[in-house]
C-alpha cells in the first residue's frame, strides 16, 4: 500500500528541472505578486529580471523587497529587454487582454493571471494569437496544482473509486473586500470560485449541463454576488453540487469535498483557508480514500505535505517552462482555459435566467 501512495506522490511532484528555467519579467505589482508570485519564484530559484507597473512606486517597492534588478518605465521597455523570455502578467481581467496581445506579438511566452478575460471569445482569440506567433500562453489556475487536488486527480485517473457518481464541494470563507473587487458586478464566480470550478474540470472535464443561483449577503460591502449554489451533470448517472460563500460571518473558513464512485470514495479537506495555527498561508490539505480496487480495509489517508500558498504556484510556471523546453502544451493553456471560462459564462447565464445551461464537450 505504501508503494501505491508513493505512486500518487510522484504524480503530485511539481519539481522544475534546472535546465528548463527561463528568465522572467513581471507586469503588475499588486498584492498577489507580492504575496505569491515573487516569493514563489524566489523559493524556486527562478530569475526575475525586472518588473513593470503603471504605479512605478509599487514596482520599486517590490523590486527592493525581492532584489529584482530592474524596474521598467513602460511595457515597451520590458519587451525591449532581450533577456526576457517569459512574461508573468498579473492584472485585473478587464485590462489584461491588450497587454497579453502586445506581449504575444513580441514573441514572448505568457503566464497570465486568471481569469484571462471575462469572455471566452477573447480567451480563444488570445490563444490563437499565441499559436500564430509560435509562443505559449499558460493560465495561472494554480488550484489544480494544489496537492490535495492533484492527489485526488491521480486517484481518479487510476480508477481507485471506479466510476464517479456524485460530487459535493463546499467552500466557506470570509473575504475582506478592500480592493478594486469591491465594485465588480459579477464577483464570486469570476474571481474566487473559478479556482474550484477549474479544479473540478481538471478532475472530470466539462459538465454537460449546469445550473446556478447566486446572491448577496445583507450588510456586505461589495456589489457582486458572494454566495453561489451550482449543480453539474457530467453524465446520465453522475451529478455534482458546489456551494461557496465569501461572506462567512461565523465559525472558521473551510473547503471540503467528497467524491463517491462505484468502487469507493475520496474525501478532502483543503487547507488553504485554515489559519488555526496562525499561518497566513494555511496548512497542507487532508485527503483520504476508501477503495475496493486497491483494496483498503477502511479510510486510507494520503499524507499531503505541500500548501496552496506558495507550493501550488510552481505548477503553472513549471508547466510553461516544460512546454517551452519540450515543445509540448502547458497545462492549463489557453485552449483548456477557454472551456473553464465558458463554464463560468454558463453559470452566470443560468443565474440570470433561472434555467439550466448546456455546454459543448471539451
Q: Which of the four pLDDT bands, split at 50, 70 and 90, describes residue 273?
A: confident
pLDDT(277) > 90: no
Show the cell assigned to 335.
485552449
259 neighbors 161 (Cβ within 8 angstroms): yes
**Which cell goes with 216?**
448577496
Burial label, 293 (beta-carbon count in 10 A; 0-12, 13-18, 19+): middle
Q: Does the pLDDT value for residue 332 go beyond 80?
A: no
Residue 262 pLDDT greater than 90, yes or no: yes
Q: Which CATH architecture has domain 144-307+341-358?
A: 2-Layer Sandwich (3.30)
Average pLDDT of the residues in 322-338: 88
Domain with CATH 3.30.360.10 in the chain: 144-307+341-358
* H-state helical runs in 179-232: 188, 194-204
Q: What is the fold of 9-142+314-332?
A: Rossmann fold (3.40.50)
What are φ and ψ of residue 94, in 5° steps? -65, -20
Indicate the Cα dihedral angle 187, 120, 90, 220, nearest 10°: 0
pLDDT of the residue at 278: 66
Please tell me the predicted confidence (pLDDT) of residue 319. 96
User: Which residues lie closer than 8 Å to 214 by C-beta, 6 or more apart?
Assistant: 188, 189, 225, 227, 228, 229, 351
Confidence of residue 275 (pLDDT cuts 50, 70, 90): confident
Q: What pTM was computed for the model?
A: 0.95
User: Residue 210: pLDDT above 80?
Assistant: yes
Contact call for residues 197 and 143 (beta carbons, < 8 A): no
Given pLDDT bands bounded at 50, 70 and 90, which one contains residue 1? low
Mean pLDDT of the chain: 94
Query: Whole-angstrom Cα distance, residue 152 to residue 149?
Result: 5
Out of 80-84, 102-106, 169-173, 180-184, pick the least confident. 180-184
The pLDDT of residue 71: 98
Residue 217 has pLDDT above 80, yes or no: yes
User: What does the pLDDT average to over 87-108?
Assistant: 96
Cell of residue 262, nine digits: 462505484
Fill in the DSSP letter of residue 113.
Answer: P
Would you say residue 120 has pLDDT above 70? yes
Mean pLDDT of 202-227: 95
Nearest to 41 by CA among 72, 11, 55, 62: 62
* Residue 207 neighbours by CB under 8 Å, 6+ apart: 232, 233, 234, 240, 343, 359
Q: Kindly report which listed range (136-150, 220-234, 267-281, 288-302) carries the lowest average pLDDT score.
A: 267-281
CA Rg, the chain, in Å? 20
Task: Tell me where in the chain the CATH 3.40.50.720 domain(s) lie.
Answer: 9-142+314-332
Model pLDDT, residue 79: 98
Using pLDDT thresholds of 50, 70 and 90, give the confidence band for residue 117: very high
Per residue in 168-186, pLDDT tens? 999 999 887 777 788 899 9
Q: Beta-carbon neighbour count of residue 297 at 10 Å?
A: 8
pLDDT at 91: 95
Question: What does the pLDDT read at residue 334?
Answer: 73
Amino acid at each position: 500500500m505504501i508503494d501505491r501512495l508513493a505512486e500518487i506522490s510522484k504524480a503530485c511532484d511539481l519539481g522544475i528541472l534546472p535546465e528548463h528555467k527561463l528568465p522572467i519579467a513581471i507586469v503588475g505589482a499588486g498584492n498577489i505578486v507580492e504575496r505569491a508570485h515573487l516569493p514563489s519564484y524566489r523559493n524556486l530559484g527562478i530569475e526575475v529580471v525586472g518588473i513593470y507597473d503603471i504605479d512605478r512606486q509599487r514596482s520599486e517597492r517590490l523590486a527592493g523587497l525581492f532584489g529584482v534588478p530592474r524596474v521598467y518605465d513602460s511595457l515597451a521597455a520590458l519587451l525591449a529587454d532581450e533577456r526576457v523570455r517569459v512574461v508573468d502578467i498579473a492584472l485585473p481581467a478587464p485590462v489584461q487582454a491588450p497587454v497579453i496581445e502586445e506581449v504575444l506579438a513580441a514573441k514572448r511566452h505568457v503566464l497570465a493571471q486568471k481569469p484571462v478575460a471575462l469572455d471566452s471569445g477573447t480567451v480563444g482569440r488570445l490563444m490563437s494569437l499565441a499559436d500564430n506567433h509560435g509562443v505559449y500562453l499558460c493560465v495561472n489556475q494554480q488550484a489544480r496544482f494544489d496537492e490535495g487536488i492533484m492527489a485526488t486527480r491521480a486517484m481518479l485517473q487510476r480508477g481507485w473509486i471506479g466510476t464517479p457518481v456524485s460530487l459535493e464541494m463546499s467552500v466557506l470563507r470570509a473575504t475582506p473586500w478592500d480592493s478594486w473587487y469591491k465594485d465588480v458586478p459579477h464577483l464570486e464566480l469570476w474571481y474566487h470560485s473559478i479556482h474550484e470550478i477549474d479544479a473540478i474540470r481538471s478532475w472530470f472535464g466539462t459538465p454537460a449541463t449546469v445550473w446556478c443561483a447566486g446572491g448577496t449577503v445583507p450588510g456586505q460591502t461589495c456589489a457582486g454576488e458572494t454566495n453561489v449554489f451550482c449543480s453539474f451533470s457530467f453524465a446520465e448517472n453522475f451529478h455534482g453540487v458546489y456551494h461557496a460563500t465569501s461572506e462567512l460571518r461565523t465559525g472558521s473558513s473551510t473547503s471540503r469535498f467528497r467524491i463517491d464512485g462505484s468502487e469507493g470514495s475520496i474525501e478532502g479537506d483543503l487547507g488553504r483557508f485554515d489559519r488555526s495555527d496562525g499561518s497566513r498561508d494555511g496548512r497542507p490539505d487532508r485527503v483520504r480514500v476508501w477503495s475496493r480496487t486497491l483494496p483498503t480495509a477502511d479510510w486510507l489517508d494520503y499524507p499531503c505535505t505541500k500548501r496552496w500558498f506558495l507550493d501550488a504556484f510552481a505548477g503553472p510556471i513549471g508547466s510553461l517552462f516544460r512546454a517551452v523546453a519540450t515543445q509540448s502544451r502547458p497545462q492549463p493553456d489557453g485552449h483548456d482555459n477557454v472551456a473553464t471560462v465558458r463554464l463560468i459564462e454558463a453559470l452566470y447565464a443560468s443565474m440570470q435566467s433561472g434555467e439550466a445551461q448546456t455546454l459543448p464537450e471539451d
